[in-house]
A and B are shown apart, each in its own frame.
Chain A
C-alpha cells in the first residue's frame, strides 16, 4: 500500500463515484428514486470487489456488495467495451439483487483493450409489474406476485441497444416510460464511471490505477481489522423476533457472533425458514452487506474515514443457512425485506453490547413504515396515491449519549414530507406531529422518544396503507439496566368515546372526519436510570419531555414543596433502592414468550423445520408454534420433538 498514492487515488475514485451518483440522482425520473434516494452506483475490480462507493447520495446498505456470482459466470473473452448487463433476479445472482425491484446494470470497463474494472448501478424501480402498483405488498407469498424477473442479459452489446430486452421491461411495467427514464439515468452514470476511470488511467498510468484499487481495499481492511481487534475475543449470542403478517407469526432470528482477533464470524443457524410473506432476503453464500449492516455501521462509527468498500467485509465471515428468512431460496417474495434487515441489525447490536466492555446501544424503534394514502385529489378530482410520510420512532440510547428522538439513526437518511405539503396535496389534515411525553425510555441515557402523528380525513373517503409497521408485540430492548421502549400503537378516533386501538395498519378505510393517531415504538434506554444526572432529569422536565410522576417513579427523583428537585433527598432515595440491572431488558411480553420458548429450544425448532422438505416447512412451523405457545408452559427438547413428530405425521395425512 503506497502511502501517498492510496490517499490521492482514494480521492480520485471517490470523485468518480460521487460524480456518477450525482448524475444518476439528477437524471432519474421517478419520484420514489428522487425522494427516498433508493439507488446507487459503484466501481468494482475485475474480481468483483467494490473498491469505490459514494457517500453523498444514494443508499449505504450495499457498501462492498460482492459481484462475484455475476462475474464468475461471464465469458470474459467475449466481453466488449460498451456491453451492459441488466438483471433483477435475486436467485441466480446470489443476492447481487436482493429483491426484484432493485433493477441492476453492470458494465465492464476496458482500457487499451484490457478489462480493468466493472461499473455497477441499481435503482429501485417504482413498478416492475406484479399484482399491485409499485410491485410490493407484505402479503405476497411468492416472487411471481412481485413482477418481472430477469437473469443477467445484455441490454447493450458493444454499445448497441437490444430492443427486445428493453421492450420486455417496457411491456411488464405499469409506468414503462418512467422506469426506462430511471434506467437511462443508470446508463449515464455507468458511462461516466467508464469514461472517468479511463481518464484516470491516462493521467496516472493503468498500472498505478489497478494497484491503487488494491491499495484502497487494503486500507479499508486495515481499518476494519483495527476496529475488530479492539473488541475482546469471545462468543456472543442474541436473538430477536420479526413480527410477521399473520397473528402470532413471530419469526426467529438467531445470531451468534464470534470475535477472533481481527476477524468476526457470524452464524445465523437457528434462524427461521423463509416465510410466505414479502419479508425474505436473498443474500447468497458470500458475506453480504445487507446482512452485516450493523457491523459496517460500527466499523465506520469508530473509523469514519475508512474508504467505503469491500475491504470492510474481508474481516467478517458469515454463515446464513440456505432457505432461511435471511438467505431465502426461490420462490421467496422479498418486497418488504427491510423489516427483516432491521431485526438482523438489532441482533448484531445485541451481540456487540455483550462483546464491548460497557456496552454500545439499546434497541431502536425497530421499524420503518411508509404511510400511503389513496384518495380523491382536490385539484384534479381524480384518485391519487400519495406518500404521506415515513414513520420510524426513536433510536436506542447509546453508551454515553441519549437516543435520537423520532427516528432511528439507521434510517436517518429519510426525510419527512412537510405537514403543509401533505395538507395541500392530500385530503389529510395533520392535527399533531410531535414527540410523545414520557416516551424517552428511562436509563442513565434515555431512549429516543416515540413519534406521534394524528391525521384527519377531510375528504369523502380515504384509503390508508402503512407498510412496514413492527414492534407492536415485542418491545425495543433496553441495555444494562435501561428500560425497554414502548410498543407501537394505532388508535382510531381518539377524541371519541368509541375510540379503538386497531393494531398495525394494513389497509384502513377512513370516512370523512375520521382521525387516526399513530404512535411509533420508542428506543430502549441504556444504563441504570437512578444514575441519570439529576440536571438532565431537571432539563427533561423543564423541556416537557418528562412528567414529575415519571421522574419520581423511574428516576428516583424527590421534589420539595416548591416542586423543585430536592437533591439531597433524591440522593438518599436513590441510594435506598436496590435496582435490578439486567444486561438486557426485553420487556414483559418477550420475557413471557421466552418462558415458553427458551432460546436454544426456539433455535432447535427453526433448525428442525428447515431440515424438512420445503413444501411443508411453513405449515409445520405454524402448527408447532401455535400449539406449544397456546399450551403456555416451558417447551423442553422432548416436548418439541414429540410435537414435531405428531404434526409431521398429521401433515403427511393418514397412511394409505
Chain B
C-alpha cells in the first residue's frame, strides 16, 4: 500500500510518499502552475511514481490539499449563483449582521456579497423557532424563482430558510421543486452543510458552497481522471478545514469544507508529531514567503474555531483555529514617517527577494537573512538555487542610507522589526487561550519557519523549538498522517434539555457520523475509529458558549454540566457550580484512521564531520564570528551543538540563536532548548 500526500501552495507543490511497513518517506517539490494547478500536480506526481514504482494493483491513497476553493472566493472568480431565502430577509447577505471591520475609517465599506441582490429570491414560507410551520411553502414562488434565476444565468442555488436547522422540511422541498423545473442546477441547502442557529451565517455557508462547487468539481474530476490513467487502484482524499480528510466525491459535493484546509494539514501533522513526542502545548508556526500562520495545540489537541473567516465571510463549522500574520520571507522593508516598517507588502514568489535574481529590487526579510549570514548563497534549497548576496546588500541600502545605518545594522533592524510584527500578533493570540509562552514548544515549518521561529521564541520566551525532518514539505507530510474526520451538529438552543433529548440526540448524531464515514472509505481500509461527543454550553444569560467534551452519549446532564463548570474554570478562571446552565448545540466528531507512517527513529549517520563551514552571524545587534555551519544529513540522533550556529538541509535552514542549544532527537527532529 502506498500513501501520497500532495499540498499545493502559491509557489510550490509539495509531495510526500510512504509505503506501508516502510519507514522511509520520500519528499519532493515542483513549482506550482497557477492557474492550471493540475499541471504541477501531474509533474510532481510523475516524479513520485518514478521513485516509488508502484506494483501492479498496489493500493494507493492520494491525500490532496488544495486552495482552489479558497482562491475562488478570494479572487471572486466563481460563477453566477442565486440565493433563495424566507420572505422578509432579502438583505440577509447585504447586512452581514451590520458589523464593519474598521469603524474608525470614515471610508470603510462592507464586503460585497458573493450573490448580487437581484439574485436573491424571497420565498413565502415560515417556520417558527419551535420548528412549527407558521406559513406553508409557496411552491409556485419556488418554481417562478427557479425559472427567473436560471434565465438570469445562475448555475447554482443556495437555499437558506428561517429555522431550517430545526425543521428542514421546507428547504428539502425547495430542492425538489428546483430540480422539477431545472434538473441540472446545483442546489446547496444550508441544513446539508451545517444546521446551526443563525440565519446569516447559515446562508453564507450555503452560498459559499454553491459558489466554489463547479470549480472544485472540475478540478477534482481532472485529478481523478489523471490518477485513473496512471494507477490501477488509487483512491483520492481531500484535506478539510478541520484538519481531517474526506473522499473526493464528498469534496465535489461539499467543497465548502475545504475553504480553510490550506494551513490545517500542517497543524494536523504537528498534532501527530506531538503525539509521538509527548502530550504538551505546542505552537505550530508555518512561515512562507508572504505570511506566517500560527496555531495552538493545547494538551495535544489542535484548537478548534467556530468563528473563522474566509475572504471576510464567516465559517461556522468547527475548523482548525489559525492566526495569520502578514510577515513572511518576502515581506518588504520600507520607511514611513521616518521609521522603519516591514510588510505587509510582500514581493511574493515573483519577483521575490532581491537575492533571488528574478527582477526583485526591494529589500525583503530574506535579503536580510542572507546579509546577516543565516543563509548560504551557494547552498540554498540544497544548492538548487543560488542567491546573490550583493543584490541583497544593494537592496538593503535603500533603507539603510536614509536611516543612517550600515547595511548590516539595517539587516538586523529589518529582522528585528519583522520579529516584533509577529510578537504583536502572537502574544494576544496566546492570551485569548490563557497560555503563557513559557509553557510552549514552538514547532516550525514552511520555507522560513526554522530561521525565524527560533528568533520569535527567543524574543517572547518560548523555551523550546522543534524542527521536523522536512520542514518545507510538512503540509504534504500532513497528508500522510491525517485521518478522515467529520463533524455533525444539532442545535438544541431554546429546547428544554432532558436526559432523553441529550442521549437520543447524541446517538442520532453518532449514527449520522458513522453513515458519513462509511461513505468515505470501506471499513477494512480503516485502522481505527474514534467518536467524540461535544456539547456547546453556557451559563444562562451568557451570549458565548464553550465546547465541552462529553465522555459518551449516555453520560447524562449532570456529568456534562460538571465538565462545563471545570472547563469554564480552566478557560476563564472562575465558575459558578450553582448557576443554571444552557445547552446550545450538540456535536459529534468522528475520526477514521487510514494506515499512516509512525515517526521513525532517525537513521544513524557515521563518521563524517557534520561541520561543513564557518560564517559570521549577526543576531540581534551582536556579531558572532566563525560560527559553525552544520549539515543536517550528517547529524546523528543524539548529536548536540551550541548556538550561535546554523544547520543547513536540503529544503530549509535552521538558525540556532546564541541563547539556544540544539540536539537531534531519537525521532530525527531537531530540538532547540533555551540555555539555562
Chain A residues proximal to chain B, CB less than 8 Å: 1, 3-4, 6-8, 11-12, 14-16, 18-23, 26-27, 29, 31, 34-35, 56, 60, 177, 181, 184, 188, 192, 199, 219, 222-223, 226, 296-298, 300-301, 304-305, 360-361, 379, 390, 392, 398, 400-401, 404-407, 409-416, 418-421, 423-425, 429-435, 451, 454, 458, 542-545
Contact = CB atoms under 8 A, between A and B. Distances in A.
B131 to A, nearest CB: 10
Contact of B103 (A12, A413, A434): A413
B98 A414 contact: yes
Contacts of A305: 336, 341
Contact of A3 (B339, B426, B431, B544): B339
A14 B431 CA distance: 13
A520 to B, nearest CB: 11
| 10 A-B pairs with the lowest CB-CB distances in the bound complex, closest first | A412-B100, A424-B494, A11-B420, A412-B103, A18-B428, A434-B91, A423-B129, A432-B88, A543-B117, A19-B431
B104 A1 contact: no
A193 to B, nearest CB: 12
Given A7-B341, A406-B95, A406-B98, 13 more contacts: A11-B424, A12-B423, A19-B431, A34-B542, A301-B105, A304-B105, A410-B103, A413-B99, A415-B97, A420-B197, A423-B128, A433-B91, A435-B95
A14 B420 CA distance: 10
Contact of A301 (B107, B405, B493, B574): B107
B104 to A, nearest CB: 5
A407 B427 contact: no
A425 B101 CA distance: 28
Nearest to A408: B103
B236 to A, nearest CB: 37
A1 B106 CA distance: 29
A304 B189 CA distance: 40
A435 B91 contact: yes
Contacts of B88: 430-434, 454
B278 interface: no
B424 A14 contact: yes
B427 A411 contact: no
B35 interface: no
Interface in B80-109: 88-92, 94-95, 97-109
Contacts of B102: 304, 412
Contacts of B28: none
Contact of A16 (B100, B116, B427, B434): B427
B572 A407 contact: no
Interface in B425-445: 425-428, 430-432, 434
Secondary structure of the B contact surface, majority rule: loop
Contacts of A458: 128
A416 B201 CA distance: 12
B213 to A, nearest CB: 24
A398 B106 CA distance: 8
Contacts of B554: none
B97 A418 contact: yes
A199 B423 CA distance: 14
Interface residues of B, number: 71
A435 B94 contact: yes
Contacts of B92: 434
B335 interface: yes
Contact of B104 (A6, A29, A297, A398): A297
A612 to B, nearest CB: 39
A416 B424 CA distance: 29
A414 B428 contact: no
B106 A301 contact: yes
8 contacts: A1-B338, A3-B403, A4-B413, A8-B416, A35-B543, A404-B108, A424-B129, A434-B95
A158 B541 CA distance: 36
Interface in B197-214: 197-201
Nearest to B342: A7
A545 to B, nearest CB: 7
A35 B198 CA distance: 16
Given A7-B341, A423-B129, A301 B163 contact: no
Given A18-B428, A418-B97, A454-B88, A301 B104 contact: yes
A222 B103 contact: no
Contact of B99 (A192, A400, A412, A451): A412
Given A12-B424, A304-B105, A418-B97, A23 B431 contact: yes
A397 B129 CA distance: 37
Interface in B218-267: none
Interface string B116-129: 11100000000011
B496 interface: yes
Contact of A22 (B103, B417, B428, B573): B428
A544 B118 CA distance: 7
Contacts of B432: 22, 26
B422 to A, nearest CB: 9
Contact of B200 (A7, A412, A418): A418
A409 B109 CA distance: 8
A648 B100 CA distance: 50
B310 interface: no
Nearest to B434: A26
A448 to B, nearest CB: 10
Interface string B365-379: 000000000000000
Interface string B538-568: 0001111000000000000000000000000
